[in-house]
Amino acid sequence: MPAIANYRIMIVEDADRMSERTSNLFLKSLEEPPKGTIWMLCAPSEADLLPTIRSRVRRIMLKVPAVADVARLLVEKYDVDEKLAMVSASQAQSHVGMARRLATNASARDRRRQVLELVLSIVDVPTAVAASEKLLKLAESDGAQLTGELDEQERVELMQRLGVTEDSKLTPSSRAQLRKLEEAQKKRSTRSKRDGLDRIFVDLMGFYRDVLSVQLNSGQALINPDLAKEIGQLATDISQAQAIHIIDKIEQVRYRMDRNVKDSLLMDSLCVAMRRRKRS
């Protein structure tokens, strides 16, 4: 029940990650919540939740902010340089969290640059296999870095709430709370590599969207304006059909990743599909 306000709001992040068993167990609480309690389930789309969940909730679609609005937020809230803010917002495709990370973390920007450079290096099957191996390592290191940052921040915040320091003698209650946090962090780390892979797939999707946009002379602003020259060259090296095929392949790989297909097989197949073929 609410303690200090009229409502208690329970926010469930990544609700689409819940297993079917978890979702079914959750139904009772969702169907008959205590008075004054509101459940908020966050997911990429309504289709990512079970039909039994969807039938018991009210859908609220959030509008994707414009690139300029995200850039302005980075400048005003995080004191980011205007040019860097605009590039980061564009590369993140208006994803506020990723835009902030790109704008404030040089290693994240470097990781993203390496990913796209590896893709540009693919010309045949041998270079595709070599790029696949390197992309998997980048995804793993990126996931480890991100979870490491979150782990340390969460530990510091918990220690502050408990009123203890690293040198303090912990009470049984404090030790139990720290152990619970460590267990939750361990579970999160098991999916960090998959999240790193998905960020790579999203970046590749945006990159080939730029290639197709140039081929079609759409006049749309590039997601990767810093790679305009390389995008223009690739747009002449491959056909529109090839660009569309690669975009479809990325979508297919993301779908199969959610079905627990082996990461190396997925990345190998994608990189082979991205090799440059002569126009027919």
Looking at the structure, do residues 49 and 14 belong to the same domain, yes or no? yes
DSSP 32-82: SPPTTEEEEE--S-GGGS-HHHHTTS---PPPPPPHHHHHHHHHHHH---H
pLDDT of residue 149: 78
Q: Is 160 part of any domain? A: no
Looking at the structure, do residues 241 and 200 belong to the same domain, yes or no? yes
Q: Which domain holds residue 34?
A: 8-54
Q: Are the C-beta atoms of residues 73 and 212 closer than 8 Å to each other?
A: no
Looking at the structure, do residues 13 and 82 belong to the same domain, yes or no? no
Looking at the structure, do residues 26 and 81 belong to the same domain, yes or no? no
Q: Is 146 part of any domain? A: no
Residue finishing a domain among 102, 120, 138 = 120
Looking at the structure, do residues 72 and 50 belong to the same domain, yes or no? no
Looking at the structure, do residues 49 and 96 belong to the same domain, yes or no? no
Q: Is 200 part of any domain? A: yes
Beta bridge partners of 18: none
Looking at the structure, do residues 246 and 204 belong to the same domain, yes or no? yes
Looking at the structure, do residues 89 and 31 belong to the same domain, yes or no? no
* Letter string b/e over residues 42-77, b meaning 16 or more CB atoms within 10 A of that residue's CB: ebeeeebbbeebeebeeeeeeeebebeebbbbbbee
Q: Is 2 part of any domain? A: no
Listed in order, strand segments (DSSP E) in the chain are 8-12, 37-41
Q: Are the C-beta atoms of residues 220 and 182 closer than 8 Å to each other?
A: no
Q: Is 149 part of any domain? A: no
Looking at the structure, do residues 262 and 199 belong to the same domain, yes or no? yes
**d(Cα 187, Cα 170) in Å, to the nearest integer?**
24
Looking at the structure, do residues 48 and 77 belong to the same domain, yes or no? no
pLDDT of residue 277: 67
* Letter string b/e over residues 82-93, b meaning 16 or more CB atoms within 10 A of that residue's CB: eebbbbbbbbbb
Domain count, the chain: 3
pLDDT of residue 250: 96
**d(Cα 229, Cα 225) in Å, to the nearest integer?**
9
pLDDT of residue 68: 95
Residue finishing a domain among 120, 141, 156 = 120
Q: Is 222 part of any domain? A: yes
Q: Is 80 part of any domain? A: yes
Q: Low-confidence residues of the chain, pLDDT below 70?
A: 190, 277-280
Q: Is 3 part of any domain? A: no
Radius of gyration of the chain (CA): 22
Per-residue pLDDT reduced to its tens digit, 80-134: 999 999 999 999 999 999 999 999 999 999 999 999 999 999 999 999 999 999 9
Residue finishing a domain among 120, 140, 165 = 120
